[in-house]
């Protein structure tokens, strides 16, 4: 009994001392300690700071902001938004309240509201790097690439050691065939990366841009540290062939096709190799394999039409040429729609139409992304919802067929 009483007394004394210490600590210090706890993922300390601040008159916004941060960390985004709403009208908490609200809306999938709130945050504080990051992500996800590029440029300037904004800017420029601008962004991303020799994905993207610009030797230099994957080997083979180094190209393309017999670029290079050796019939066989694996690729059909004409198979050549022209026309329409979305932040129907076009071009994953973007702008957009359901049904049927035939010689 004496031991229990002594323990209880010591706890009372400890709590009294702690209360006295907290009472003597200025509320602003508690607020800064809470912000530090959030940055360092010390959520229990964050909870304590929020509770302590609630007892100080005039510091309810500060307490609400910290409570919202703790809720965000626990994945409770809607309750967090309610706390941030209460913190938006105080000078000390306004910026973080808007910035974190934008992140919460993004995580909830409400990209329209995320962009609106984050625009307020960056207008009030152009150096708010986190607001620019989340705004860039939201704009990218809905295809508003012009807005995404501007936010990414701000992130690149405000976070000079971060390679990610330059890499994403490179991807955007590459998608729109601005290969020189893309290459410059990729180089900057590699310069910022702590181990640039181990970032194969970016090196392959950069080398592809250089290849398209006719800089074959430089592309091969960029690819030197990359592992022997089908994509890297096919790109190496194409550059070697362009430099008239036939044997290295042949070795590389064989390795690529051994690892992926349906690899589109490897099949095209293999067809070029045998065609240069004078065997148009074998080139046609490789290109027929490519058409079977990639039926909605206009370049594959164009190459096959050329070889058929060389073989005197004019009817089959015209059949491939007609399919190629249809695919290229779809590609032009897709590009025009995509360019309309470049500056648009609000049109779900436009996203739906781009998704339909992407699906017609044989790119169901890209189509799904556009349908989902339409629904983030308008959750009630029924055509996009139906299109997603149809894509899911197709994927399920294809998966069932693949399982049924899997392992069959």
CATH number for the domain including 49? 1.25.40.10
Is residue 47 one of the residues assigned to a domain? Answer: yes
Torsion angle of alpha carbons 265, 268, 270, 271, nearest 10°?
Answer: 170
* pLDDT tens figures, 47-106: 999 999 999 999 999 999 999 999 999 999 999 999 999 999 899 999 999 999 999 999
Q: What is the pTM of this model?
A: 0.85
C-alpha distances out from residue 59 to 34, 56, 85, 97, Å? 13, 6, 15, 14
What tokens appear for 260 in the block? 């992926």
Q: What is the pLDDT of residue 4?
A: 53
For residue 379, what are the domain limits?
A: 347-394
Q: What is the largest CA-CA distance in the chain?
A: 107
pLDDT (mean) for 3-21: 46
Torsion angle of alpha carbons 251, 255, 256, 262, nearest 10°?
Answer: 110
Domains contained in the chain, number: 2
Is residue 281 one of the residues assigned to a domain? Answer: no
Q: DSSP character for 56?
A: S
Is residue 354 one of the residues assigned to a domain? Answer: yes
> pLDDT band for position 5 (50/70/90)?
low
Task: Answer whether 101's CB lies under 8 Å from 72's CB.
Answer: no
From 158, 186, 220, give the residue that closes a domain.
Answer: 158
Task: Answer whether 65's CB lies under 8 Å from 46's CB.
Answer: no
Residue 11 has pLDDT above 50, yes or no: no
Q: What is the pLDDT of residue 2?
A: 61
pLDDT (mean) for 338-363: 95
From 158, 188, 204, give the residue that closes a domain.
Answer: 158
Is residue 199 one of the residues assigned to a domain? Answer: no
C-alpha distances out from residue 305 to 57, 229, 271, Å? 79, 29, 13
Reduce the DSSP state of residue 409 to 3 states and report it: coil
What would the DSSP string read from start to end of 129-191?
Answer: HHHHHHHHHHHHHTT-HHHHHHHHHHHHHH-TT--HHHHHHHHHHHHTT-HHHHHHHHHHHHH
Reduce the DSSP state of residue 84 to 3 states and report it: helix
Residue 16 has pLDDT above 80, yes or no: no
- Beta-carbon contacts of 108 under 8 Å, excluding residues fewer than 6 positions away, are 77, 78
Q: How many CA atoms lie within 13 A of 281 on its CB side?
A: 0
* pLDDT tens figures, 256-269: 999 999 999 999 99
């Amino acid at each position: 009994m004496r031991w229990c009483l002594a323990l209880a007394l010591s706890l009372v004394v400890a709590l009294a001392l702690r209360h006295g210490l907290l009472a003597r600590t200025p509320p602003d210090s508690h607020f800064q300690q809470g912000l530090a706890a959030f940055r360092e993922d010390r959520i229990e300390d964050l909870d304590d700071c929020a509770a302590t601040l609630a007892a100080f008159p005039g510091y309810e916004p500060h307490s609400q902001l910290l409570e919202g941060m703790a809720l965000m960390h626990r994945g409770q985004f809607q309750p967090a938004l309610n706390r941030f709403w209460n913190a938006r009208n105080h000078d000390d908490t306004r910026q973080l309240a808007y910035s974190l609200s934008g992140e919460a809306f993004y995580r909830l999938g409400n990209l329209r509201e995320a962009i609106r709130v984050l625009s307020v945050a960056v207008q009030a504080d152009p150096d708010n790097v986190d607001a620019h990051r989340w705004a860039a992500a939201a704009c990218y996800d809905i295809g508003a690439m012009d807005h995404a590029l501007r936010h990414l440029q701000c992130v690149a300037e405000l976070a000079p050691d971060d390679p990610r904004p330059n890499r994403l800017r490179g991807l955007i420029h590459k998608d729109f065939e601005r290969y020189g601008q893309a290459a410059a962004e990729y180089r900057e991303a590699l310069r910022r990366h702590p181990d640039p020799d181990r970032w194969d994905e970016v090196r392959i993207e950069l080398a592809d841009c250089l290849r398209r610009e006719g800089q074959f030797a430089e592309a091969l230099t960029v690819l030197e540290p990359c592992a022997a994957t089908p994509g890297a080997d096919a790109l190496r083979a194409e550059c070697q062939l362009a430099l008239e180094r036939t044997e290295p190209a042949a070795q590389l393309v064989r390795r690529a096709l051994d690892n992926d017999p349906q690899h589109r670029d490897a099949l095209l290079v293999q067809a070029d190799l045998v065609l240069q050796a004078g065997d148009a019939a074998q080139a046609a066989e490789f290109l027929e394999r490519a058409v079977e694996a990639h039926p909605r690729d206009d370049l594959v059909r164009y190459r096959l039409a050329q070889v058929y004409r060389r073989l005197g198979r004019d009817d089959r050549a015209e059949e491939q040429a007609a399919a190629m022209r249809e695919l290229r026309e779809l590609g032009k329409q897709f590009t025009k729609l995509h360019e309309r979305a470049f500056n648009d932040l609000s049109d779900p129907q436009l996203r739906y139409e781009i998704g339909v076009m992407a699906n017609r071009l044989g790119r169901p994953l890209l189509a799904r992304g556009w349908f989902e973007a339409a629904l983030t702008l308008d959750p009630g957009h029924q055509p996009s919802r139906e299109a997603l359901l149809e894509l899911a049904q197709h994927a399920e049927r294809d998966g069932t067929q693949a399982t049924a035939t899997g392992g069959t010689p």
